Amino acid sequence: MEHIDPAVINRFDTRSSRPCEFCRELDPQFLMRRPLDQMVATSRRPTASAHLTEDGYVRHRMLELRQITSRAPLTAA
């Protein structure tokens, strides 16, 4: 185990994680995700990069992009 970076080991330590509030609010399929895909590091804001898994990161980014594209376009004055 000494060859594994301690940051990687801590990344999957669920004792220091919580469900992502952003994803919980915007994703109707949030409760269908695997438990690790729902979690973000406690010490960070609920951003895509705070997710513990790659799937959690990707789903978070998809929600962010969907939110951006659903906004009304800015009009030139």
62/25 Cα distance (integer angstroms): 14
Residue 22 located in a structural domain: yes
Select, from the ranges 40-44, 64-68, 71-75, the one with the highest average predicted confidence (pLDDT): 64-68
Residue 76 located in a structural domain: no
Cβ–Cβ under 8 Å, residues 52 and 40: yes
Q: Which residues contact 38 (CB under 8 A, 6 or more apart)?
A: 19, 20, 23, 24, 30, 56
Residue 1 located in a structural domain: no
Domain span including residue 20: 6-69
Residue 74 located in a structural domain: no
Residue 54 located in a structural domain: yes
Domains of the chain: total: 1
Read off the pLDDT of residues 16-42 as tens digits, 9 standing for 90 and up. 789 999 999 999 999 999 999 999 988
| Reported confidence tier of residue 1, pLDDT bands at 50, 70, 90 | very low
Residue 77 located in a structural domain: no
| Reported confidence tier of residue 2, pLDDT bands at 50, 70, 90 | very low
Instruction: Give the global pTM.
Output: 0.74
Residue 21 located in a structural domain: yes
Locate 15 and state its tokens. Answer: 């004792």
